[in-house]
Structures are given as C-alpha cells and as structure tokens.
Amino acid sequence: MRILLVEDDPDLGPAIAQALRQENCAVDLVANGIDAAHLGDTEHYDAVVLDLGLPGKDGVTVLRDWRAAGRSVPVLILTARDAWSDKVAGFKAGADDFLTKPFRIEELTMRLRALVRRSAGHAATRIESGPLAFESQTGQFELDGLPLRLTALEWRVLSALMLSKGAVIERLALLERVYEGDADVDSNSLEVIVGRLRKKIGADRIETVRGRGYMLRDGTA
C-alpha cells in the first residue's frame, strides 16, 4: 500500500510513518494542509491518513476539496478531537473512517487494509488467485496453503497485483508503491522484483503487458 500520511505533530508523524513502513507500506509524510492538498491532487495513493487540525489548510477543507474534484481515494481521519460534531464534519466532507488519538498502530493498519481492500472491490478479507492466497487483514500470503516468505519490496508489488488481480497496473503506479515516489531509483529495479516473485509463485502468474505494466493472472492457470 502507498499511504499519504498528513500529521503535523513532529514526534507522532514520523513514528506513525516508521510503524507503517514496518508493515510494508510505502509512506509519504507531510505536516500541513497545503502540501497534503497538492500531493492528493498530483499523486496516486491507496489510502490517506488525515489529521484535522493542520496548519495552512485544515483537514476537513482538504478532504472536501478532494471529493469536490472527484478524488475517491479512501481517507481515514486521525485526530485528537473526540467531539461528535468533529466526526460529523469529517464524514460529511467525505471521510471513510475515523480514528481518535491515542490509538494502537495495529488498529490503524487493519483499518487501512480494510479500506484499501473494499475500495478495490473485495468484500472478503481473504483474496485468492489459483494457488495464491492473500489474507488482507494480516498481510500474510500463502502458496498452496503454505506461508510465502517475501521481502518488503516483493510484498508491496504482490499485494498491489493481488488486490487488482486480472487488471493491468501501470508500471509507474507500481514503482510509486514500492519506492514511495522516489524518482531516482534504477529503472530496472521493478523488473528485478517481478523476476524474484515469478520464481516464488510461478513464472506464468505475472504477465508483462508491453508498454503498460503488469497483471496478475486470475484463476488457476
């Protein structure tokens, strides 16, 4: 998952970002509403964690503007406020979920995974494609019923392909999910990761769509 984290607390923001990266997420962290609005308008994210009390532009306004522009990225509002009126304002602006500080990072991660799964059109937590299975709430992969060992980068690629099984994911979108939007990465690095995945799950499972990207072949083939 590629996550946009918008949190202005100088201690909490980096701590959340580090914890999410340990859960194999690619994270872009910003500390004000102006930068958040810009990234949300110009980059692709699987989900956004958005604080309400932000400098420059408050979270409700940022979210309302995204929804008015037709941006459907799942948004989880994260705030120290616990008043019902704040929750109502957030949901009216277009929030998909709400988490009040303090919280456990495990709960945040599970809520984000659920948002991403549902936005990809999967109702069940377990997603299967032939002998490959992905338990989206725990982040665990299985192959032929046995745990599949993956590096963090391999996990990011395969989870994106699994959630979009049967559909092409553009190469640039995959690169952003893997490297947090870093434009300086080696252009062949994604091919290396895909090559390693093919050795682990079967060479015919991931199809290269020339000039576009990659697709996980659905079914048993």
At 70-84, the pLDDT tens digits run 999 999 998 876 677
Q: Rounded to an integer, what distance in angstroms lies between the CA atom of residue 58 and that of residue 63?
A: 9
* pLDDT at res. 118: 92
* pLDDT at res. 221: 42
Interval 8-17 mean pLDDT: 95
**How much is the pTM?**
0.83
Interval 125-146 mean pLDDT: 93
* pLDDT at res. 185: 63
Give me the amino acid identity at 174.
L
Which of the two residues, 80 and 216, has the higher pLDDT score?
216
Confidence of residue 87 (pLDDT cuts 50, 70, 90): confident
Checking if the pLDDT of 187 tops 90, the result is no
Is it true that domain 2-119 has CATH number 3.40.50.2300? yes
The model's pLDDT over 142-166, given as tens digits with 9 standing for 90+, comes to 999 999 999 999 999 999 999 998 8
Say if residues 180 and 26 touch (Cβ distance below 8 Å).
yes
Confidence of residue 184 (pLDDT cuts 50, 70, 90): low
Q: Which of 208, 215, 111, 85 is nearest to 161 (CA)?
A: 215
- With tokens 């434009």, the residue in question is 183
Choosing among 3.30.1130.10, 1.10.10.10, 3.90.1150.10, 3.40.640.10, the CATH entry for 126-216 is: 1.10.10.10
User: ∠63-116-219 over CA atoms, to 5°?
Assistant: 150
Checking if the pLDDT of 220 tops 50, the result is no
DSSP state of 167: S
Confidence of residue 177 (pLDDT cuts 50, 70, 90): confident
- The domain limits of the chain are 2-119, 126-216
**Summary mean pLDDT of the chain:** 91
